[in-house]
Amino acid sequence: MQTILLAGGLGTRISEETVSRPKPMVEIGGRPILWHIMHSYAAFGFREFVIAGGYRADVIKTYFHNLHLLTSDWVLDFRDGTRQPIGGDTPDWRVTIVDTGLHTQTAGRVLRLRAWTGGETFMVTYGDGLADVDLRALVAFHRRHGKLATVTAVRPPARFGRLQLDGEQVVAFEEKRQTSEGWVNGGFFVFEPQVFDYLGGDATMLEREPLEALATDGQLMAFQHAGFWQPMDTLREKQQLEALWESGRAPWRPANLGALPARQAA
């Protein structure tokens, strides 16, 4: 099953980090957030990726082209030009990178990648959000309900700490990570090929007409995820994700990831 990663936006809300690179290439713990998302999928056995590039797609292409070089040690023989890898932790992924246009919107990017899905069920998510979604359970849920589309519904992160008051006295303070009410679109979609019929051209946003039409037609179901979910829309959120990674308690980190080389780990 192919997973489309939306990685072409301008990332203007975190412009401190995106002047020279796309937002999915902003690093958490020395690795692009896109790398973290892909490891989340790979941990559940989904290792076929199609990256929808746009703004600075060259940065994404260069990173993955050099990933094996950067994550391995080498013996270089300048006499005959040979290069022999020694060890390394290069993942066993198949990665397709397609430039889907600088100003193309999310639905348009997915539509441009239709040929890469092979006419089969496929997944889509954003290249700037981390979660500990059980992706096998997500796909199983999608298979069971038989509709065309599934969106992962999440609790939005709380912006402020929660105060419990007794009159004017604070009797409890809780720095909550998620709100207790309401659900929002968290990405981590599963789509049937017929969803392409709902997508417009390059100017169409997936989150508007296509999903609204699927909902109206009774073809959109929600996989409710009450666990960790955090987008990286601001520098503050990037710093929060960094702190979680550095603490060793990042909820999205697969248990089988293992230790990163010291020069790349936070």
Mean pLDDT to the nearest integer, 235-263: 83
Q: How confident is the model at residue 262 (pLDDT cuts 50, 70, 90)?
A: very low
* pLDDT given for residue 263 in this prediction: 40
Q: How confident is the model at residue 265 (pLDDT cuts 50, 70, 90)?
A: very low
* pLDDT given for residue 151 in this prediction: 96
What are the b/e assignments for 115-145, b being 16+ CB within 10 Å?
eebeeebbbbbbbbbbbebebeebbebbeee
* pLDDT given for residue 10 in this prediction: 86
> pLDDT per residue over 178-213, tens digit each?
655 689 999 999 999 999 999 999 999 999 999 999
- d(CA 97, CA 7) in angstroms, rounded, equals 10
Q: What is the mean pLDDT of the chain?
A: 89
Backbone angles phi, psi at 141, to 5 degrees: -60, -45
> Which domains occur in the chain, in start order?
2-247 (3.90.550.10)
* pLDDT given for residue 181 in this prediction: 62
* pLDDT given for residue 266 in this prediction: 31
Helix (H, G, I), strand (E, B) or coil at 86: strand
pTM: 0.87
How buried is 4 (Cβ within 10 angstroms: 0-12 exposed, 13-18 middle, 19+ buried)? buried
> pLDDT per residue over 92-103, tens digit each?
899 999 999 999
